[in-house]
Chain A
Amino acid sequence: DAKTTQPPSMDCAEGRAANLPCNHSTISGNEYVYWYRQIHSQGPQYIIHGLKNNETNEMASLIITEDRKSSTLILPHATLRDTAVYYCIVAGSNTGKLIFGQGTTLQVKP
């Protein structure tokens, strides 16, 4: 599976958009980008995934660059409850298993 690089931490003001970057320059053609988050003391939670098109759901938007070497998870209006560790994972959909890296700790501040 392709390796991902994420900043270890980020801050965001409450009510503003949180933009979390992820670099995956070695991604291969059949690999997807998956985002999960883990709020303190809870299990990880699925957010969104995409292959090459931008995706949006009720939680977030995922923007993937045209060359697919990087992506950005966007939380449009961050709240204090969005404070969590956000994991970007690149894998083939048939890999059968998710391997988590260190992620980005997002702190949403009032």
Chain B
Amino acid sequence: DAGVIQSPRHEVTEMGQEVTLRCKPISGHNSLFWYRQTMMRGLELLIYFNNNVPIDDSGMPEDRFSAKMPNASFSTLKIQPSEPRDSAVYFCASSPRTELNYGYTFGSGTRLTVV
């Protein structure tokens, strides 16, 4: 099992550009989560999906952020336009089901730097 796969591992972009982060969950996992981590705010849940449907996007910071899950094996987090304050590590996680007792498996993250 390759685990949760995120790409790219590192992204450097200029302010105002569109950024797309990608995530491939573990096959068979029905829940997918996007987190953001900064020194100031720690790990923040941005949005999560169950069976490809967004369930809770209350953590999405603003309209510049959008997430999609077109199928069970792929999700994207898009920032348009990007700003320096979006610089962070973005983690994707998946779980077999929404119940927390199944445990989350996290990817290695995408380190985003907006200059």
Residues of A within 8 A of B (CB): 32, 34, 36, 38, 41-46, 49, 87, 91-102
Q: Given A44-B43, A44-B106, A102-B42, A32 and B101 touching (CB < 8 A)?
A: yes
Which one of A34, A42, A44 contacts B100 once the chains associate, using CB atoms below 8 Å?
A34
Interface centre among B50, B55, B56, B101 (most CB of A within 10 A): B101
Is A46 in contact with B103, judged by CB distance below 8 angstroms?
yes
**In the bound complex, CA of A32 to CA of B99 (Å):** 11
B88 within 8 A of partner (CB): no
Is B93 among interface residues, defined by CB-CB distance under 8 A?
A: yes
Q: In the bound complex, do residue A43 and residue B106 qualify as a contact, i.e. CB atoms below 8 Å apart?
A: yes
Residues of B within 8 A of A (CB): 4, 31, 33, 35, 42-43, 45, 48, 50, 55-56, 91, 93, 98-101, 103-109
Contact B56 A49 (CB under 8 A): no
Determine the residue in chain B with the shortest Cβ distance to A103: B42
How far does the alpha carbon of A65 sit from the alpha carbon of B110 in the complex, in Å?
38
Residue of B33, B50, B99 most packed against chain A (CB within 10 A): B99
Contact A49 B101 (CB under 8 A): yes
- Residue pair A100, B98 in contact (C-beta under 8 Å): no
> In the bound complex, what is the Cα–Cα distance between A46 and B103 (angstroms)?
6
Q: Give Cα A9–Cα B91 distance, bound, in whole angstroms.
A: 24
Kindly provide the distance from the CB of B87 to the nearest chain A CB, expressed in whole angstroms: 16
Q: Are B50 and A96 in contact (CB under 8 A)?
A: yes
Smallest CB separation, B102 vs chain A (Å)? 9
Tell whether, in the assembled complex, residue B101 and residue A43 are in contact, meaning their CB atoms are under 8 Å apart. no
